[in-house]
Structures are given as structure tokens and as C-alpha cells.
Amino acid sequence: MAEQNVVICRNLQNDLQGFLASLDYDKLFILTDTNTLRACYPRVKDIPALKGAPVITVEANDLHKSLDSLSSIWMHLSNEGATRHSVLLNLGGGMVTDMGGFAGATFKRGIRTINVPTTLMASVDAAVGGKTGINFNGLKNEIGAFYPPLCVFIDCEFLRTLDRDNILSGYAEMIKHGLISSMDVYTPVMLYDIDTMNYSYLNQLVAQSVAVKEEIVAQDPKEKGIRKALNFGHTVGHAYESLSFRKGRPLLHGHAVAAGIVSELFLSHKHCGFPMEKLSQVVYYIKEYYAPFAFDCNDYETLYELMQHDKKNEGNVINFTLLGQVGDVRLNQQLNKEDILSSMDFYRESFGV
């Protein structure tokens, strides 16, 4: 997989114009969702290289990260005369960059893509790393491909358009990056006061968080080894997320990951000796900012079944990424069902649900 190019922007308009001016392409297309068309497209529409570019818009939120939406993107590209020499610029959150990346990977066997993430989640996670895909058959990112964009342009000014829940959603991935990397990354993330929203300082933390992911992806682009560290919190988290959709109370991805981090830190403490002091610190931080996800013991079997569909698994064995300490990543941890269910007990007891 090609090396990524990630730009932390000081001036998005100049950075993007300069990059596009250096490319050789026949047509440029812009993918947005209904939210980013309204809130974010106006910031880029007057860039000379983007003037006149057809805009493809899909419905917002993860429910629409679907085969139907993907088909509509392909249809627009085809009807507007896109060729293998065209470029698709994905302007939006993780849903847009995931699905736009997959559309680019598959249309005419691959056209070039550029990601301009507009949410914190996309900036620190979805837009970086080359994973693309859609949800399918009730499962998160079930269909997809590794297909890195030509470049990712990160501009934290877009974050001013976000509500609190979407900021928190992305911040869960930053907590994860801190936990899997080092105390130098972990400590400032855990000290950041989300209520005050210092965007200048957040920009520094975002750059630091992106660097963690970039380094891991560079070592293991196809997730054969250390890249599985990035799945910490996600085995249980994805199950919580899928259950929330089935219950008609959909969680934003990062809120589900935050809940998954709590459960998987408990498993890390129990099986890998992760310190209780740090476990309590993370649980306290997540309780302070994130609303609890309510479920009961009648949901345990469904959650366990959902984990069995996790892409990291080998056969019917559920593989976890756990931690022995901050930065001490333990890959391919296989636990018995009783222990996995106990992590759900721990979450419910911690959050009083």
C-alpha cells in the first residue's frame, strides 16, 4: 500500500489549491453528505481548482453508509463521465471518507481519492490509514478495501461546525491512541477539558494523535500485525454500536468505542495486569463526558454473537487487542465467553445501567 501524505493545514484553501494544481487529472468530483454540503462545502467551493466540479451528495449519518448510497455514487460518477484519470475529493466525516474511499477503490477498478475530513473522528481515524468500506447485513464496515487516498488535508477549523456529541465521538479515538502509544501522548489527552474547547490546543493534540496512527500504519499497512493495536476498544465497541442500531437508539461510532474501551480495559486489567489506577482514571474521564449506553443481561448473547463477526477473528475464536500498561499492546488475546460477558457487567456497573 502506498505511503500516505497527511497535511495538517495552516491554510486549507492554499494547501488544497497547490496540491490540485500539481496533479494531472481530467475531471474532479466532490463527495459530501447533506450536513457537510451545508456546513463545510462553502469553505472550499471558491478554491479555483474546485470551481465547477460536480458535487455528489448522500444522506448524512452512518445508517446511509450502505450499498444503496455507494451505488448512487457510482451512478453519478458514471453519468458525469468520470474516467480512471479522474479524482474524487471526499469532504466529510468518517462515513463520507470510508464510503468515498471505497467508491474510488472500485469505480473503474480504481480512481484517485483525496480526503478532507470535517469531523474529529475522521481527522484522527477514518480519513487516515487507507481503510475504506460500507456497512452491510447489519455489520459495521463488513465490505471494504485497503485503498489509501493521495492525500489527507486536516483542518481543525471544520471542528467549529460540530456539536458536542460529534467532538466526543472523535475524542474517543484520541483516548485510544494515547492508551496504545505512550504516556507522552496519553497524559495531555486525559487532561484536556472538552468543556472549554481550546481549538488551537486541540489542533496540536490532533496532530499528535494522527502521528500515532501514521506510524503504526506505516509499519503494517494491511493489518497483519501491529496495526491490530488500532482495534483496541473496537471488538466490544463495534458490538455495542451494532446493538444500538438494532435497538433503534444508534450510538455515534466514538461513543460506542468509548464504551468498548471501558470493557476492554477491564479485560486488560484482569488478563494482562493493566493497572487499576489507570483503569479508574479512564473510566472516570469517560463517565464525565459520555452518556451511558443502556443495555441489560438479555442482550449479552446478541453482543457475543456480534463479536464473533469481528474481522480480526480467526474461525470462531474472538481476538482482542488488550493492554498490559499504557503503550504495552498485547495482540491476539483470546478469552473465554464468561470473561467476555464479565466485561459487559463491568461496564454496566461502572455506568449504573
Q: Are 330 and 324 in contact (CB under 8 A)?
A: yes
Q: Are 116 and 28 in contact (CB under 8 A)?
A: no
The amino acid sitting at 130 is G
- CATH 1.20.1090.10 residue ranges of the chain are 164-351
- Per-residue pLDDT at 3: 52
Residue 1 — pLDDT band, cuts 50, 70, 90? very low
What is the β-pairing status of strands 319-325 and 151-154? unpaired
**What is the Cα–Cα distance from 76 to 226, expressed in whole angstroms?**
38
pLDDT at 304 over 90: yes
Report the first-to-last Cα separation within the chain, whole angstroms. Answer: 43
- CATH 3.40.50.1970 residue ranges of the chain are 6-161
- Cα-based angle 147, 245, 120 (whole degrees, multiple of 5): 50
Residue 4 — pLDDT band, cuts 50, 70, 90? low
Residue 316 — pLDDT band, cuts 50, 70, 90? confident
What is the tens place of the pLDDT at every residue in 153-171?
999 889 998 999 999 999 9
Q: Which of 156, 100, 90 is nearest to 124 (CA)?
A: 156
What does pLDDT average to over the chain? Answer: 94
Residue 267 — pLDDT band, cuts 50, 70, 90? very high
What is the tens place of the pLDDT at every residue in 197-227?
898 899 899 999 999 999 999 999 888 899 9
pTM flag (> 0.85): yes
The beta-strand segments (E) located in 163-237 are: none
What is the tens place of the pLDDT at every residue in 103-130?
999 999 999 999 999 999 999 998 898 9
**What is the Cα–Cα distance from 85 to 99, expressed in whole angstroms?**
19
**What is the Cα–Cα distance from 305 to 236, expressed in whole angstroms?**
11
> Exposed, middle or buried by CB within 10 Å (0-12, 13-18, 19+), for 54?
middle
- Per-residue pLDDT at 315: 66
| CATH number of the domain located at residue range(s) 164-351 in this protein | 1.20.1090.10
- CATH number for domain 6-161, candidates 3.10.20.600, 3.40.50.150, 3.40.50.1970, 1.10.3210.10: 3.40.50.1970
